[in-house]
Structures are given as C-alpha cells and as structure tokens.
Amino acid sequence: MAKVNVCNIVVLDNPSPFLNPFQFEITFECIEELKEDLEWKMIYVGSAESEAYDQVLDTIYVGPIPEGKHMFVFQADPPDVTKIPVNDVLGVTVVLLTCCYRSQEFVRVGYYTNNEYSDVELRENPPIQPLFDKIVRNILGSQPRVTRFKINWEEACETKEGLDREMLDRTAATADTCSSASPVKTVSQTDVEWCTDNSQNSIPKTFVF
C-alpha cells in the first residue's frame, strides 16, 4: 500500500503569459510518518520527438513529513526558450509533476499545455522566430493524466529484494554447472496503474507519460 496519496492539484495563475512561472498547489496525504524526504520534480516537455528536449524546471525536497494531510505550492521558472525547438514552441505540449521516495518514482501527473499567441493576427500569421513575450500558456488543469508505480516504502523491503536477487544469482550459477539443468531466467516487471478519464480520446496521443 502506498504511504503517500496525492489528493488534489490546482493549477494557479492559469492561463498566463508563457514567461511567467509555473505554479501548482499540491495537496497530499501521508498514512504514516515518513523517515525521509519526498523529492518533487517539475518537467517541461520541449518536444514530443525526443526526451532530449525535456527540461527539469525545478526539484524540491519536502520533509520531514508527519502523518496527515499536507499542502504546498510548487513554483518554478519557465523553460529555457533557447532549448526548445522552434517548431515545437506553439501548440500542445506537456508539463509533468513527479514524486519520488528513496529515489523511487511512485507517482507522475501530466498536464497537456497549449501555447499560442494572444493576438489574433499573430495566430494567423506567426513569425518565423517565436515572440515569447506574446505567447500565452494554457494548462488543461481539469484533465490530468496520473500514473502510479508500486515501490518499496520500507528499508527492510529493499534489503529483502536484494537478498532475493542474490539467491537468484546463486541459483543461476549452480544451474550453469549442471549439464541437465535448465537455465534460470530472471524477469522483472513494474506494476503501473493508469488513471484516465472518458475524454482522453479528444486529446492528442503523441505524448507518452
């Protein structure tokens, strides 16, 4: 069972000029006290073509965290415009919020974001070089895409997992020495739960969360 549940996220200052900071009001609940900090990241997807254009806008550590419900505002500067491909500045992109515990990501929330000129004439005849001070950012805050991952919350579980791997390695080594034995194959699988809504068919499928 997850020890942290994200209860609600509110997109603040939306829509807003492209060069304004991003602001998200995040409410989450801990079912018991956490011994270590939560690591939150805000990521701007610069292009759907390659993760190389992703920009980590900010990373913050929240803790220590007692049992109960908590709220904070995660604010980050806009992306470095020089690192965004010119052809990907306007239109739909994605902003991601991720959270890790002990370097294990357990939740990812993605928001589709539309960038366009506020001026009608610029929308109809956009300049070759983007005018970032004329662009408005609109985050689709009502339709987040949430992915949850199962992780090991307890240090004891991580130790047990390491012992299990060691035992499998030893078994594989033993099998290699026996001519009649079948090779041992280790398979790892990440358990991922997707939360979507009925309106997802109206959203572009280009981006993968």
Domain count, the chain: 1
Please indicate, yes or no, if residue 120 is contained in any of the structural domains. Answer: yes
- Res. 162: pLDDT tops 60: no
How do residues 27-62 score in pLDDT, each as one tens digit?
999 999 999 999 999 999 999 999 999 999 999 999
pLDDT confidence of residue 9? 97
Neighbours of 116 (CB within 10 A): 19
CA 147 vs CA 66, 144, 150: distances in Å? 24, 10, 10
Residue 64: the pLDDT is: 85
What's the pTM value of the predicted model, to 2 decimals?
A: 0.74
Residue 24 counted as domain residue: yes
Q: What pLDDT is attached to residue 81?
A: 97
Confidence at residue 63, expressed as pLDDT on a 0 to 100 scale: 86
In a domain, 11, yes or no: yes
In a domain, 173, yes or no: no
| Residues written for the chain | 209
Q: What are the tens digits of pLDDT across the range 2-27?
A: 899 999 999 999 999 999 999 999 99
Give the range among 5-9, 71-75, 131-135, 163-167 with minimum mean pLDDT. 163-167
| Residue 76: closest CA among 93, 52, 98, 51 | 98
CATH of the domain at 116: 2.60.40.1490
What pLDDT, on the 0 to 100 scale, is given for residue 101? 96
Question: Do residues 149 and 113 lie in contact, with contact meaning Cβ atoms separated by under 8 Å?
Answer: no
Query: Could you list the residue range(s) of the whole structural domain that residue 57 is in?
Result: 4-155+190-202
Inside any domain, residue 160: no
Q: According to the model, what pLDDT value does residue 26 have?
A: 97
Neighbours of 46 (CB within 10 A): 22
**Which residues are CB-contacts of 142 (< 8 A; sequence separation ≥ 6)?**
none
Considering the domain boundaries, does residue 138 fall inside one?
yes
Is 176 contained in some domain?
no
- What are residue 96's DSSP bridge partners? 43, 110
Average pLDDT value for the chain:
81
Does residue 29 belong to any structural domain of this protein?
yes
Phi-psi region of 197 (alpha: psi -120 to 50; beta: other; left: phi over 0): beta
